[in-house]
Amino acid sequence: MTVKDLSHHLSNESKGRQPSALKTAFKYFGQENMVFLGGGLPLSDYFPWDKITAHSPAPPFSNGIGAKPTNEKDTTVTEVGKVKELDYDVPLGRSLQYGHTEGQVELTDFLKTHTEIIHKIPNKEWDLVLSVGNTQSWEATLRTFCNPDDTVVVEEYSFSSAIETVRALGISMAPVEMDDEGIIPEKLDQLFNEWDSPKPKPKLLYTISTGQNPTGSSLSNERREAIYKIASKHDFIIVEDEPYYFLQMADYEKGASEPPAVTHEQFLAGLVKSFSSLDVEGRVVRLDSFSKVLAPGTRLGWIVAQKKLLERFIRLHEVSIQTPSGFSQTLVAGLLGRWGQDGYLDWLIGLRKEYTIKRNFTMNSLLKHMPKDVVAFEPPMAGMFFIVKIDASKHPKFATEFGKDPIKVETAIYEKSLEQGCLLIPGSWFKSPNFKEHGSTEIFFRGTYAAVALEKLDLGLSRFGKAIELEFGL
């Protein structure tokens, strides 16, 4: 259970970061009988916000998390002024001031307790630091660990924006093969065993392990354990980018609409184990976010890792983002403080219900509209995305006009579906650089059920099914 020293994985940029010399003076700040004329802080009297009040839905969200409140009991009112009044509030006089790069203590305390409840991280040297969302957390992770000469292992299909972040920094990518359940552990081990590039072995594995983007796949507990062992064997760091972790859904049963109700205990017991929950050695960097759980515009995420590595993130944040918006911190801490850990679980269970309904509806709609002979699909267990897999070789022109190129079939279907009035994203757009073709004739399209009304979703999928039928002459 000893945390490993992983400082040999730090980038040159990160190794070179030093705390400001001014810090040595700041120890005198607030000291009795010391007039401190050292810092350039504006006076909080001049912050032009005296009080903020926010209206939010209240636990247990009996009518659903999206329901309009019908009475006072349905509403949580967060009211915060410049001065501290409640234990869990971050007063505006502090959140709107400089300081506290790690995040305001009221919010980080809530998140630490939450992390304990959910992940029960086995090493005791973990901590967390706030970020402005997982996009920035991932960029900060790359800057902290990778030199331009380094390589990152990525899922062979991955989130284009995350890939673009790596590419622009001149960092190489080595894709690892996936199946319906995500990364295949044996292929990952093989990648490291057979490493024959002149570049050093990859330092990081980047994985969207739950509700993967774009495939919708989720790694099973068994695979996560296997992957952790491989990380330990080959000494790399696992970066789990987990914005969809709490969009885990109930099992799908054909024709089902709503999921059965669950208690807090059942909900917690049903969650897949995160890599953090397996992290005895301190080699997991977990990127967590409120973007899919509360709202993207909070621009509020947090990075969980062993303390010694986190200290390097803090040094980077001091000279880049500093800390997330004080309004975001005050409003989120105020809301979570009033809801409490139990109320927040109620919210997450409510979210699970909404996503399960949408996922179930999507599966039922796909069963109705997709031509069975050429199309396959699995119910995603988490996240916002589903994929429609198509056997390109069944296209009548596959061997002739398309020269056995599945991508040509993909393009033809994409164009046909646009004509029909429905857009799903072609799977090949998510191929990681250095993608290794494995000779499959299967192509796929990524769809989402997250932000679409159910009738419209059904209309779209009927059009998509029609497009495939027209293309394949069914």
Alpha-carbon span 142 to 241, nearest angstrom: 13
Looking only at residues 303 through 332 of this chain, which bind a copy of itself when binding is defined by CB under 8 A?
315, 318-329, 331
Which is nearer to a copy of itself, 132 or 173 (by Cβ)? 132
- Say if residues 192 and 228 touch (Cβ distance below 8 Å): no
> Minimum CB separation from a copy of itself for residue 290, in Å?
10
Alpha-carbon span 34 to 132, nearest angstrom: 35
Which is nearer to a copy of itself, 1 or 451 (by Cβ)? 451
- Site stretch for a copy of itself (CB under 8 A), options 232-240, 256-264, 405-413, 442-450: 442-450
Which is nearer to a copy of itself, 168 or 399 (by Cβ)? 168
Q: Does 221 bind a copy of itself (CB under 8 A)?
A: no
- Say if residues 293 and 81 touch (Cβ distance below 8 Å): no
> Minimum CB separation from a copy of itself for residue 25, in Å?
6
Q: Under DSSP, is residue 55 helix (H, G, I), strand (E, B) or coil?
A: strand
Q: Does 52 bind a copy of itself (CB under 8 A)?
A: yes
| Tokens found for residue 25 | 């003076």
For residues 154 to 183, the per-residue mask of contacts with a copy of itself, x marking binding by CB under 8 A and - elsewhere, is ------xx--xx-xxxx-------------
Which is nearer to a copy of itself, 147 or 232 (by Cβ)? 147
- Say if residues 107 and 332 touch (Cβ distance below 8 Å): yes
Query: Nearest-CA neighbor of 205 among 180, 222, 226, 181?
Result: 226
Q: Does 433 bind a copy of itself (CB under 8 A)?
A: no
Query: Which residue has 């912050």 as its token pair?
Result: 47
Alpha-carbon span 117 to 122, nearest angstrom: 12
Among 48, 198, 255, 403, interactor with a copy of itself by CB under 8 A:
48
**Count of CA atoms in the C-beta half-sphere (13 A) of 99:** 16
Looking only at residues 369 through 388 of this chain, which bind a copy of itself when binding is defined by CB under 8 A?
384-385
| H/E stretch holding 326 | helix 326-369
Looking only at residues 104 through 163 of this chain, which bind a copy of itself when binding is defined by CB under 8 A?
132-133, 135-136, 139, 160-161
Looking only at residues 12 through 41 of this chain, which bind a copy of itself when binding is defined by CB under 8 A?
12-14, 16-18, 20-22, 25, 28, 33-41
Which is nearer to a copy of itself, 106 or 139 (by Cβ)? 139
Q: Does 399 bind a copy of itself (CB under 8 A)?
A: no
DSSP string, 353-412: HHHHHHHHHHHHHHHHHS-TTTEE----SBSSEEEEEEEGGGSTTTTTTTTT-HHHHHHH
Q: Does 367 bind a copy of itself (CB under 8 A)?
A: no
- Say if residues 185 and 232 touch (Cβ distance below 8 Å): no
Alpha-carbon span 449 to 462, nearest angstrom: 14
> Minimum CB separation from a copy of itself for residue 34, in Å?
5
Among 152, 183, 294, 348, interactor with a copy of itself by CB under 8 A:
294
Q: Does 63 bind a copy of itself (CB under 8 A)?
A: no
CA distances from 230 to 82, 191, 238 (A): 50, 11, 10
Which is nearer to a copy of itself, 79 or 177 (by Cβ)? 79
Q: Does 343 bind a copy of itself (CB under 8 A)?
A: no
